[in-house]
Copies of this chain bind each other. A is one copy, B any other.
Amino acid sequence: MNEVFKALADPTRRRILDLLKNRDMTAGEIADHFQMTKPTISHHLNTLKKTELIQDEKRGQYIIYSINTTVFQDVMNWFFGVMQSNPIHKGENEK
């Protein structure tokens, strides 16, 4: 879970997710959207893959990446948890 948050902390990786939300793409297609070198993008893809935010599938000499929304559920749940703060204890600051 910590790894997921760390993966999302990088703007390039978030842009990759934004790209993949529209359609699956090969590593090269993804890299073409950035000014960084391919090895750098490959590293980012690997980071996202390790957290299972994306998945890959080899097809011929291409590797096709796609988004995996399963993990997003977990992150969302954490957010919901933080946002529904407990009003019963509000105002007990003068302890």
**Partner among B6, B67, B86 whose Cβ is within 8 Å of the Cβ of A22:** B86
User: Would A69 and B83 count as touching, CB distance under 8 A?
Assistant: yes
In A55-87, the 8 Å CB interface with B consists of 59, 64, 67, 69, 72, 75-76, 78-79, 81-86
User: Would B23 and A89 count as touching, CB distance under 8 A?
Assistant: yes
**Distance in angstroms between the alpha carbons of A76 and B23 in the assembled complex:** 21
Copies in the complex: 2
User: Would A69 and B93 count as touching, CB distance under 8 A?
Assistant: no
A-B contact pairs, 24 of them (CB 8 A): A2-B11, A5-B9, A5-B11, A5-B14, A6-B9, A17-B82, A18-B82, A21-B82, A21-B84, A22-B85, A22-B89, A23-B89, A23-B92, A24-B90, A25-B93, A26-B93, A29-B95, A69-B82, A69-B85, A72-B79, A72-B83, A76-B76, A76-B83, A79-B79
